[in-house]
Amino acid sequence: MGCNTSSTRIENSQTSLRAVLIIQNWYRGYRARLKARKQYALTIFQSIEYADEQDQIQLCNFFSFMLENYTRIRKEEIGLNQLAENELDMRDKQDYVDLIDVPDSYKGPRLQFPLTCADIDLLLEAFKRKQILHARYVLEVLFETKKLLKQMPNFTQVQTSPSKEVTVCGDLHGKLDDLFLIFYKNGLPSGSNPYVFNGDFVDRGRNSIEVLMILCVSFLVYPNDLHLNRGNHEDYMMNLRYGFTKEILHKYKIHGKKILQTLEEFYTWLPIGTIIDNEILVVHGGISETTDLNLLHRVERNKMKSVLMPPREIYKDYNTDSKHSKVDVTISAHGRIKTKGFLSEHLPKHEREQVIDILWSDPRGKKGCFPNTGRGGGCYFGPDITSKILNKFQLKMIIRSHECKPEGYEICHGGKVVTIFSASNYYEEDSNRGAYVKLCSGTNPRFFQYQVTDATCFHPFHQRVSTMENSAIKILKERMISRKTDLIRAFLYQDRRKSGKLPVSKWAFCMETILGLNLPWRSLSSNLVIIDQNGNVDYMSSFRNIHIEKPVKEANSALVETLCRYRSDLEIIFNAIDTDHSGLISMEEFRAMWKLFSYHYNVHIDDSQVNKIASIMDLNRDGSIDFTEFLKAFYVVHKYETMMKPEATNLG
C-alpha cells in the first residue's frame, strides 16, 4: 500500500511538472508574440516618421526661395500692432522687451534677471501647475541665452571626475513630464551635477516652449555645467511641420511672431556638439566617412539657418492668371509668373554637408557610408566608418540621439556608438522607455531607464500592445488611402486575369513599390486585407472601412487623394505666404501656389478642378479662403474606429 501511494505521488508530481512546463512554454511563446506585435507597430511608426522627414526635405528643395521671403517678411513684422515697423527695427533687444507690459493680472512665474537657481525652481513649479510663462520673460530668456551662446565654441569641452559625473540626455521633443522625471531621479543641474542635452528639445510634444525655457534658464544659471547641442529639430522649417510653430502662435497670440523670429536666430548659435574628457564625441545624429572635426571646429555655425533650405537662387517661369501675390512674385505682361529667391549668407557647400551629417545621420550594422534614404538627409554609417573617424581624431566613443529606441538606449558598433533617447512613450503610450547616461572618465557608461506612467500603463500588457497596434495600423491605412489611385493601378497591372485577387507576395510588392516604407508587408497583411483560403489577397479590401471625406461633390478622387497626401506640405506653403497669420489667403495666391506646387511634384490634375473647389470654399465670396479649414476638409474617416476593440488588431 505504501509503495502504491509513493508511486502515485511521483506520477502526480511528474504530471504537475509537465503541466508547469507546458504552461511556462505557452506563456513564453505568448509574451514573445506580444513583443513581436509591439515591434511591428514600432516599425510602422518609425517608417512613417522617417518618410515624413524625407518629404520635408524634398519640399524645401523647391520652396527655399519662398521661405527666405517668409523669413524676411517675419523680420519686418514684430507683432506690436500699435507701433510702426521701422521704429521697431531700430530698437535693440532691451528696448523691445521693455515695451512688453506684464499686467498685474498675470499669475504666472516672474523671473528676475540675473537669474539664480531659485528661478529654476520657480519655473519648474509653475509649469507643473500648467502655468504659461509670459512672452516678456520668454523673449528675455531667449535673448540672454543667445548672447551667451555666441561666446561658445562649436564643440564645448567637458571634463569629468569621480565626484563630478556628467549626464547626457537625448531627444525630449516637448515631453515636459520626462524632463521632470529626469530631474527627480537624477537631480537638478548644478555645479556638481552637469548635463548635456543632445538636441531635439522641441516639436511633437505639447510643451516644447516649457522644455526649452527650463533648459535655457538652467543654462543661464549654470553656463559651465549645462550644455545644449543643436538637433535637427532646432530648425524653424522643421517647427513649421512638427508643431512647435503652432504651439508658439497658440500660446502667444500677440508676441508669437517675435518669439518665432528670435528662435530662428537662437537655433543658429547652438553648439553642434560636445566632447567629454577628450575621448567621447556627443552629437545629435552621427558622422560620415568625410566628417572632419577640425573643419567643424571652424565653421561659422550661425550661417546654418536651416538644414532644409538649400543655399541656391531659384528662378523659374510658370503659367498663371494671377494678378497679385504676397510672395516675391513678379507678373509679366504675358501672364507668366516669375519667382525669384535670393541668397542669404550661407555656409559653403562642403561645410554645410558636414553639419548635415552631424545632425541627420544614423548608424547601421552594414559596413560603409551610404545615403540615408529613410530620412532623406545625412547618411548611414557602418562600424568601419566609426572606427576610422574615432581613430583619426583620437576618440573612443560616439554618443548620439536622433532615433527612438524601445529601451531608451542602444549600443552598437562594438560598443563604440551609443544612442540615447529621453522621450518615453514617444509614438504611443508604452511604446518605449526613455533613458539618460552618466559618464565619468575611466569608468563604463551607466544607463538609467524610466517611463512616464499614465493610467493606461496599469492595463494588462496585451491590452497596451493592442492599443499601440491600432494606432499604428490607423496611420498606415491613412497613408494607403492617400495613394489609393496609384495602388489600384499597381494592383490591376499585376492582376492580369482581372480576378480582383493577388498572391500575398505580389500584393506586398505593390505596397512597397508605391508607398516605399520598407515594411514587412507579408507579416502585416492579415491586419490590412482579406486573404482567402488559398492565400490570395482581395486587394480592394486594402481600402475597407476607410475613406477620405469630400467637402464638396465636385472633388474628383485624384484631387482628393493629392490634397490629403500633401496636406502637411500645403499647410507649410500657405503659412509661408500668410504673413499676417490670418489663416486667409486670396484666391489669386491660392492658384499661384497650386501651380508652383503641381509643377514641382509633377501632379497631373486639371487646374479647373482646383479653381472650382477653391471657389466653392470661398464661403463669404470675398475672394479669400481659410486654407486651414480648406485642408482640414480633406480628412480620413475610419468607418468603424469607435467599434474597434483593443484585441481587434494583431500584428503577430
Give the residue numbers annotated as catalytic, written as ranges: 233
Enter the C-alpha cell of residue 260. Answer: 518665432
Question: 403 by DSSP, 3-state: which?
Answer: coil
Give the torsion sign (CA, 234, 236, 238, 239): positive
Residues 226, 484: Cα–Cα separation, whole Å: 49
Question: 173 by DSSP, 3-state: which?
Answer: coil
Phi, psi of 383 (to 5 degrees): -65, -30
Query: In b/e form, how buried is each residue of 106-131, taking b as 16+ CB within 10 angstroms?
Result: eebbebeeebeeebbebbbebbeeee
Beta bridge partners of 450: 434
Beta bridge partners of 316: 339
Phi-psi region of 429 (alpha: psi -120 to 50; beta: other; left: phi over 0): beta
Nearest to 269 by CA among 303, 308, 220: 303
Do 545 and 481 contact (CB within 8 A), yes or no?
no
Residues 59, 71: Cα–Cα separation, whole Å: 17
23 Cα distance to chain centroid: 43
> 309: Cβ–Cβ under 8 A, 6 or more apart, which residues?
60, 64, 67, 68, 237
Do 322 and 297 contact (CB within 8 A), yes or no?
no
**3-state DSSP helix/strand/coil % of the chain, to nearest 5:** 50, 15, 40
566 Cα distance to chain centroid: 17
Q: How far apart are the first and last CA of the chain?
A: 52
Length of the chain: 652
Query: In b/e form, how buried is each residue of 621-644, taking b as 16+ CB within 10 angstroms?
Result: eeebbbbeebbebbebebeeeeeb
Residues 379, 401: Cα–Cα separation, whole Å: 15
